[in-house]
Each structure stands twice: as structure tokens, then as C-alpha cells.
Amino acid sequence: VIPDRRELAAVAEHWDSAYRGGPTEVSWYETEPSISLSLISLLGISADAAAIDIGGGGSPLASRLLDRSFTDVTVLDISTIALDETKQQTRGDPRVRCLQRDLLSWEPDRRYGLWHDRAYFHFLIDDEDRRAYLRALRRAVEAGGSVIVATFAPDGPDRCSGLPVHRYSTQELSRALGNHFQLVESKREEHFTPSGSVQPFTWVAGRIAD
Ligand SMILES: C[S@@+](CC[C@H](N)C(=O)[O-])C[C@H]1O[C@@H](n2cnc3c(N)ncnc32)[C@H](O)[C@@H]1O
């Protein structure tokens, strides 16, 4: 299904306006992507892996990967304002590529050794959208590549940024990532929003079977 341009413009505007209040004000803000970095270490992902952060927004992950000597980092997001934040944080470093795309209609043109997604997948509440996500994942991740995904946990909020979300246990999330996904590690996180409320997250980390 080719998404309607106006629909996409509305989605992009929704997220741009979420970020307009300042990147540190959004409920998903974190000063350090600690769990992401610990799972990257645990999976043994080396700095020469090409990494992509799906719905990466203005997360500090891209700049922390540069600090760890990664040389090939892509941040894909539908929001230009979020990507401008990433460019600012990484000072326009040529090792970081920012892609303003709708993930569901994106056609990957290369492969990555790490697919990272914190808090995008849970917005997909229709099977068709989840299938489109998995198609992109399968095309973008090399055989044996790593996948790290975080969503709200079953006792987490049922909405985020005014939109309904689907909440996952570890088992449900592993299953939702398809037959090729092999779970290596999972974690529960209690994320504190800038306003002090608690949002439980489910994290899974694994590999795509050869
Ligand atoms: C809850 S935020 C998480 C941001 C970031 N991963 C983090 O941890 O700070 C969800 C992100 O998904 C992006 N997004 C929403 N719909 C998208 C789409 N269709 N394609 C690509 N990115 C999208 C938003 O702009 C936003 O940056």
C-alpha cells in the first residue's frame, strides 16, 4: 500500500510538533542511552558494524556510537526537527547519515549490522503495518546482524505522544519480530519521563538467523 502523501505529511507534522517544545521535554527523553549501549556490548557488536537507529529522533545514541568509534551510523526518522537535533548533537559528522523517511514505505538500499529501535515499533497497531516493518527489517539487516528493540511493557502506558500503542512482553515482542529473530537477551526498564512518571519498557536483543 502506497501511503497517501497528505497522510504522511500529517504524521511528520505530528512528530515535528512533539519535538518543537524541545528535545529534552518529550516523555521518551533520556540523557544517556544506557540500556542500548549495554545491549550493544552484550551482543558483541563491533565498531565497524553499520548501525541504523529506526525512529531515532533526537536520541543521544548516534553521538555515543561515534564516541565508541563507530564509523557508519544512520538515523532514520520521519521528523525533520528530530533529525536536525541529531545533526546538532553530532556536529554534522560525516560518519552519521540522517534519513528523513517513513519507515513503513522505506526501501532500504543497503544492509546494516545493527538495527536499533527504541519506542517506534509499539506505535504499529495494525498487522499490515507490522508486516511492513518486518519487510524493511529483513531487507536492511544482514544475515547474522543484530536487532535491539524496545517497546512499552504490558503494564506500561497505552498511549505515547497522544497515539495508541501496542504493549509487549518479552515473548510477544520476540515473536512479533518474526521467525528469523533469535533472542539473546531481554530486559525490563522503568523509564522516568522528564515530568517524573514511570514508563515500564520491554527490551529485546538478538540476531537475525543466517
Ligand atoms: C517515542 S519517539 C522515540 C525516539 C527515539 N528512538 C528515542 O529513543 O529518543 C518515536 C520516534 O519515531 C519517529 N517516527 C514516528 N513515525 C515514524 C515513521 N512512520 N517513520 C519513521 N519514524 C517515525 C518519531 O518522529 C519519533 O522520533
CA of 82 to the centre of ligand 1 (A): 8
The minimum-distance atom of ligand 1 relative to the CA of 30 is 9
182 bridge partner residues:
207
Q: What is the pLDDT of residue 74?
A: 98
| Pocket, ligand 1, Cβ cutoff 6 A | 11, 15, 28, 55-57, 59, 76-79, 82, 102-104, 118-120, 160
Counting Cα atoms < 13 Å in the Cβ hemisphere of 78 gives 19
pLDDT digits (tens, 9 = 90+) for 198-209: 999 999 999 999
The minimum-distance atom of ligand 1 relative to the CA of 77 is 22
Distance CA 146, CA 137 (A): 11
Mean of the per-residue pLDDT values for the chain? 97
CA of 143 to the centre of ligand 1 (A): 25
pLDDT digits (tens, 9 = 90+) for 19-33: 999 989 999 999 999
Q: Percentage of residues in the chain with pLDDT exceeding 90? A: 96
pLDDT digits (tens, 9 = 90+) for 66-82: 999 999 999 999 999 99
If one compares 109 and 4, the residue with the highest pLDDT of the two is 109
Q: For ligand 1, atom 18, name the residue with the nearest CA.
A: 102
Positive or negative, the CA dihedral 22, 25, 31, 36 is: negative
pLDDT digits (tens, 9 = 90+) for 137-191: 999 999 999 999 999 999 999 999 999 999 999 999 999 999 999 999 999 999 9
Q: Can you give the pTM of this predicted structure?
A: 0.98
Q: What is the pLDDT of residue 1?
A: 58
The minimum-distance atom of ligand 1 relative to the CA of 8 is 19
Provide the pLDDT confidence category of residue 48 given band limits of 50, 70 and 90.
very high
